[in-house]
Structure 1
Amino acid sequence: MDVNIQNKKIELIQWLSTLNDMSIIEKIIKLREREKSDWWNEISVSEKKSLEKGIKDADAGNLNSHSDVKKIYEKWL
């Protein structure tokens, strides 16, 4: 794992251990709980269908190369 990420984690742990403000601690807990939730349950039915279609297409080998996709979407990039 990246050393910089490890250092940031340690800094956060040290900072968290000094906190006395319960409102900040509660916000961090809520953030952690949101991160744990399964995003699949949070998306719409149409988004789920779109993802399932994409997976089915990929499984069937219906894929576009990165360069082809860049050409298609270059006006938005």
Structure 2
Amino acid sequence: MDIQTSKIELVKLILDIDNTEFFQKVTNFIKNEKSDFWNDLSVAEQNEIRKGIEDLEQGKRIPYSDFLKKIS
């Protein structure tokens, strides 16, 4: 069974649910399972972001205008 067929079957099952508490649990579960962009980043990208945050916390900053000059 492909993913689209599975989705349709799941929707059919959900449509038959009359228990609001169970429906709320399923809704919350689905919302919590959404992909976090962080997980889509490579390890190298995650490390660069961590290093950037660490630099900021240590006061290592440059003015935005200097940054723009550096990259242009």
Cα deviation, residue 42, structure 1: 0.9
| 2:54 counterpart (53, 56, 60) | 56
- Return the alpha-carbon distance in structure 2 between the equivalents of residues 64 and 54 of structure 1: 12
Q: Tell me the number of residue pairs that the alignment of Structure 1 and Structure 2 aligns.
A: 41
**Alpha-carbon deviations, 1:38-72, whole Å to 9, x = none?**
01111111111000000000111101101111111
- Return the alpha-carbon distance in structure 2 between the equivalents of residues 42 and 73 of structure 1: 25
- Return the alpha-carbon distance in structure 1 between the equivalents of residues 39 and 71 of structure 2: 29
Structure (1/2) with the larger helix percentage:
1
Partner of 1:68: 66
Partner of 1:4: none
Bigger radius of gyration: 2
Q: Unaligned 5+ residue runs, structure 2? A: 1-7, 9-30
Verify: 1:42 aligned to 2:40, yes or no. yes
TM-score of the pair, normalised by structure 2: 0.50
Q: Unaligned 5+ residue runs, structure 1? A: 1-25, 27-32
